[in-house]
Amino acid sequence: MRLLFWTTTSLLLLISFFTFVSTGSFATETAIPQDAARDFFTRHAGPEKTSNHTNNWAVLVCSSRYWFNYRHMANALGMYRTVKRLGIPDSNIILMLADDVACNARNKFPATVFSNQGRSLDLYGENIEVDYRGYEVTVENFIRVLTGRMDSSVPRSKRLLTDDRSNVFVYMTGHGGNEFLKFQDNEEISAFDIADAFEQMWQKKRYNEIFFMIDTCQANSMFSKIYSPNILATGSSEVGENSYSYENDNDVGVAVIDTFTHYVLQFMEGINKTSQLTMQDLFNTFSFDKIKSTPGVRSDLFGRPLDRTLITDFLGGVAQVELVDEDASAEEPSFSADNFSEPESPSDEILLAVEAELRSGNNISRGDRTPTTATNVDSSWYGLVKVLRAWGSAAVVGGLIGWIVTSR
């Protein structure tokens, strides 16, 4: 009887031991993807090179109208195509456009807008969403878009639904002068208006960083009055200089794009969603000989070095990936009409790269699979507690079985 008792007890203890070993291995193995993901994002997005943002938005404004301002429409549509190609969805783009060129009676190529003589790329196409068109393109609407002071009847598609984790690219083109930009030959927005609108955005936590670009005559005067933090600005010409068109199309009959925007878009064509090119790389391409004016850059309000600021931090899509501890308590988010933003889809390139790195195991040796982070230690401790409970239960059951057998 005693032999049967000790045999049963030993068998239960062995089962508990193997359960403990397998559970410990499982806890260790589950920690591996977390370590690999953390290592991947640390290497590819170091703290000096990244912004603390989770979403990108673009506000693209063509403030001109009429057929002879064809090139300004092409400027804005060229930027629209670029930010969409780099991953910013239409839901995160506000496009303000007179939209009176594509179907103009003088357009020899109906329902199209081109930016070069060869007409190789139709910027209008079949996949364009104009949020404010025609007489909706006003100074008031532009400022309301930036500040979020909208009537409740305005649909979400016409709202800039940013928050304090949003990077915003603001592009403007049209006719202007010293510290003003004309809106459809009817009204003007001043450098003070733009500066105050940005300050309202900052006070209301509507942006993390802003990249302001403007292509007009005396463009650099338009960012001279900005005083809010985390704003990087560039313009096509100094005070007293004009901003010139790049080329004419004899069949269209007018200039089809401005020089400054042409060279910016030409540079952007060499960028993809995972590009490591920086703002300094872009600014280094600026040349008076090419642009025929003196582009300006203002970075004194910007908190990061230009050679550490990726272009895709503003003009590209963002993968919303945040590594947190498993036992971290998440705070309940607060939602309002002013700060709510729809989630974006993660970048396919980043997700595929993480998956490939996890599968290849190139940076994870078998000997190094020891939990080192607080999360991994907690996971192993939780597994140990579960095994100890099972072990104690097995011992109790074994004791009861032994007592029953010996009592007979």
Please indicate, yes or no, if residue 345 is contained in any of the structural domains: no
pLDDT of residue 63: 95
Please check whether residue 7 is in contact with residue 385, taking contact to mean a CB–CB distance below 8 angstroms: no
> Measured between alpha carbons, how far apart are the two ends of the chain, in Å?
9
Q: Rounded CA gap, 233 and 297, in Å?
A: 6
In what side-by-side order are the strands of the sheet with 132-133? Answer: 132-133, 93-97, 55-62, 166-173, 209-215, 231-235, 296-298
Q: Tell me the residue type at 148.
A: G
Per-residue pLDDT at 89 exceeds 50:
yes
Three-state SS across 146-191? HHCCCCCCCCHHHCCCCCCCEEEEEEEECCEECCEEEECCCEEEEH
Percent of the chain with pLDDT over 90: 57
| DSSP E strand boundaries for 267-365 | 296-298
Among 292, 315, 338, the domain-final residue is 315
How does pLDDT run across 114-163, given as a tens digit for each residue?
998 888 889 998 889 999 999 999 999 999 999 999 999 999 999 999 99
Whether residue 347 lies inside any domain: the answer is no
| Catalytic-residue membership of 175 | yes
Tell me, yes or no, whether 139 lies in a domain.
Answer: yes
Burial environment of residue 170 by CB neighbours within 10 A (0 to 12, 13 to 18, 19 or more): buried
Catalytic, 103? Answer no
Of 53, 62, 72, 175, which residue is the catalytic one?
A: 175
Q: Is residue 346 domain-resident?
A: no
Residue 233 pLDDT level (bands cut at 50, 70, 90): very high
Range with lowest mean pLDDT among 99-108, 213-222, 373-382, 399-408: 373-382
Question: What tokens were used for 128?
Answer: 């364009």
279 and 196 both lie in a single domain:
yes
Average pLDDT over residues 173-179: 95
Residue-wise pLDDT for 9-68, tens only, equals 565 555 555 555 455 544 454 445 566 665 655 555 544 556 788 999 999 999 999 999
Domain range for residue 378? 2-47+372-407
pLDDT digits (tens, 9 = 90+) for 42-54: 555 544 556 788 9
From the candidates 53, 72, 217, 262, which is the catalytic residue? 217
pLDDT at 366 over 60: no
Q: b/e per residue, 32-43, with b = 16+ CB within 10 A?
A: bebbbeeebbee
> What is the count of structural domains for the chain?
2
- Residue 321 is assigned to a structural domain of this protein: no
Confirm whether 20 is domain-assigned.
yes
Provide the greatest CA pair distance for the chain.
110
286, 148: one domain: yes
Residues 29 and 63 in one domain: no
Give the model's pLDDT for residue 127.
85
Please indicate, yes or no, whether residues 138 and 190 belong to a single structural domain of this protein: yes
In sequence order, what E strands does 37-150 have? 55-62, 93-97, 132-133
Q: In what side-by-side order are the strands of the sheet with 180-183?
A: 176-177, 180-183, 187-190
Last residue of a domain, one of 315, 335, 363: 315
Pick from 100-114, 194-208, 314-328 the range whose average pLDDT is largest: 194-208
Handedness of CA 119, 121, 122, 124 (dihedral sign): negative
Q: Residues 71, 157: one domain?
A: yes
Closest by CA position to 61, among listed 241, 154, 220, 184: 184
| Mean pLDDT score, 317-323 | 65
State how far the Cα of 73 lies from the Cα of 64, in Å rounded to an integer. Answer: 8
pLDDT at res. 295: 96
**Average of pLDDT values for 181-196?**
95
**Residue that has been written with the tokens 């004309």 in this structure:** 182
Residue type, 212: F
Residue 42 sits in the same domain as residue 172: no
Amino acid 315 reads: L
Q: What's the burial of 9, exposed, middle or buried (CB within 10 Å: 0-12/13-18/19+)?
A: middle
> Same domain for 43 and 68?
no
Question: Is residue 96 domain-shared with residue 17, that is, in the same domain?
Answer: no
Q: In the prediction, which pLDDT does 34 show?
A: 61
Answer whether residue 248 shows pLDDT above 60: yes
- Which segments of 187-324 are extended strands (E)? 187-190, 209-215, 231-235, 245-249, 254-258, 296-298
Is residue 317 within 8 A of residue 347, CB to CB? The reply is yes
* pLDDT at 357 > cutoff 80: no
- Look at residue 323 and tell me if it is in a domain: no
Q: Report DSSP state, residue 49.
A: T
**Helix or strand (DSSP H, E) at 32:** helix 2-44
Token pair, residue 268, equals 């952007």
User: Percentage of the chain surpassing pLDDT 70?
Assistant: 69
Query: Is position 154 within any domain?
Result: yes
- Among residues 54, 31, 49, 45, the alpha carbon closest in space to that of 358 is found at 31
